[in-house]
């Protein structure tokens, strides 16, 4: 996905400070994994296609941060709303990034996981346009479809002990005219509430680095940036061995220059500051022409400052 951290009216100074710390220098990144669900998940406001029980619902005392002014966050409740998300995804992934997508529905990014996911929509409150979207695959729905998207890129055998508490976040993107901090803060706050309310505590996904990475240091092509970023994150952010996974189509690290001083995409830096861990070396995704890092974030690993902001704890 392509997200940037430009601040606009409606983002408070506190949000600006937090975003600056999370992201560092502004930059673009695609993360087909860590997206983010909605605010009021109650028996009256269950997402489309949800398998969450409507009885015995345990109220959660946390209060999610308010989204920036002019932004609304909600779950898609019918196919027309899902189609809006898929059109935006096609516009960003195919139109901006040149990804090779299925043409099952022309002008839409559609895959087999969509029918099993819950789709988060971020709208501009005035125009009602969908300006951001994320999809969430819950453990129950992953069992129904038979796997997660990440399973198609990585051998996730070592994650079997956490699958019952694990959601997969993916296909996240934001419209080019709305890539500012307010959207990101709203999404992360919504995701935190979703996880706690549903008694889930592990998030996984594929954090993507374009093979031709345009970072602060300029354009670095041929996958050398991805190899160098893998070297950096492996040294400080590698998960413990019991969570290591293996790529099914590995990026050929040994054939690439991994000594370059390049910065990771801004969104990857943000997730690392939130306590996320990298689970192993990157896979190559030829359809998106990107290297995908397997990442995992656990609620228990959220640093205290962000725990207070997103969870009020």
176-223 per-position pLDDT tens digit: 898 777 777 777 778 888 888 899 999 999 998 988 888 777 888 889
Enclosing H/E stretch for 231 = helix 224-237
Condensed to tens digits (0 to 9), the pLDDT of residues 88-129 reads 999 998 998 888 998 899 999 999 999 999 998 889 999 999
Average pLDDT, the chain: 80
Residue 226 φ then ψ, to 5°: -60, -45
What tens digit of pLDDT does each residue of 253-266 get? 999 999 999 999 87
C-alpha dihedral, 286 to 116 to 151 to 265, nearest 10°: 50
At 21 the pLDDT is 52
**Are residues 82 and 136 in contact, defined by beta-carbon separation less than 8 angstroms?**
no
| DSSP line for 87-147 | HHHHIIIIIIT------SSTTS---TTGGGSEEEEEEETTT--EEEEEEEE-HHHHHHHSS
Largest interatomic CA distance in the chain: 55
Tell me the two tokens of residue 6: 């430009």
Pick from 197, 199, 147: nearest CA to 170: 147
* Run of H or E residues at 225: helix 224-237
Q: Give the mean model confidence (pLDDT) for residues 35-64.
A: 37
Residue 269 confidence (pLDDT) above 80: yes
pTM score, whole prediction: 0.79
Cα(208)–Cα(264) distance, integer angstroms: 10
The token pair that represents 228 in the structure block = 């160098």
276-298 pLDDT, tens digit each: 999 999 999 999 889 999 999 99
| Contact residues for 4 (Cβ-Cβ < 8 A; gap 6+) | 26, 27, 28, 179, 180, 266
223, 211 Cβ separation under 8 angstroms: yes
Q: Per mean pLDDT, which of 32-41, 67-76, 189-198, 238-247 is the most reliable?
A: 238-247
The closest of 227, 182, 264 to 9, measured between CA atoms, is 182
**In which region does residue 173 sit, left (phi positive, over 0), alpha (psi from -120 to 50) or beta (all else)?**
beta
Mean pLDDT, residues 219-238: 94
């Amino acid at each position: 996905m392509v997200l940037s951290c430009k601040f606009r009216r409606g983002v408070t100074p506190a949000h600006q400070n937090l975003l600056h710390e999370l992201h560092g220098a502004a930059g673009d990144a695609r993360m087909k994994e860590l997206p983010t669900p909605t605010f009021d998940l109650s028996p009256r406001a269950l997402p489309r296609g949800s398998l969450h029980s409507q009885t015995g619902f345990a109220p959660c005392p946390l209060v999610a941060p308010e989204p920036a002014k002019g932004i609304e966050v909600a779950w898609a409740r019918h196919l027309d709303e899902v189609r809006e998300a898929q059109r935006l995804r096609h516009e960003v992934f195919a139109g901006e990034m040149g990804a090779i997508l299925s043409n099952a529905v022309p002008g839409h990014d559609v895959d087999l996981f969509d029918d099993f996911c819950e789709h988060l929509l971020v709208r501009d409150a005035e125009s009602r346009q969908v300006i951001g979207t994320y999809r969430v695959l819950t453990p129950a729905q992953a069992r129904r479809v038979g796997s997660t998207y990440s399973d198609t890129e990585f051998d996730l055998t070592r994650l079997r002990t956490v699958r019952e508490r694990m959601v997969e976040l993916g296909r996240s993107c934001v419209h080019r005219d709305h890539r500012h901090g307010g959207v990101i803060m709203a999404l992360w706050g919504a995701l935190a509430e979703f996880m706690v309310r549903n008694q889930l505590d592990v998030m996984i996904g594929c954090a993507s680095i374009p093979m031709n990475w345009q970072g602060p240091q300029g354009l670095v092509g041929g996958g050398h940036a991805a190899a160098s970023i893998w070297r950096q994150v492996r040294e400080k952010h590698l998960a413990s061995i019991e969570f290591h996974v293996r790529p099914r189509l590995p990026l050929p690290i040994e054939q690439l220059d991994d000594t370059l001083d390049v910065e990771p995409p801004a969104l990857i830096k943000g997730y690392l500051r939130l306590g996320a861990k990298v689970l192993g070396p990157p896979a190559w995704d030829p359809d998106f022409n990107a290297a995908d890092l397997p990442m995992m974030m656990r609620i228990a690993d959220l640093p205290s400052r962000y725990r207070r902001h997103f969870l009020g704890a």
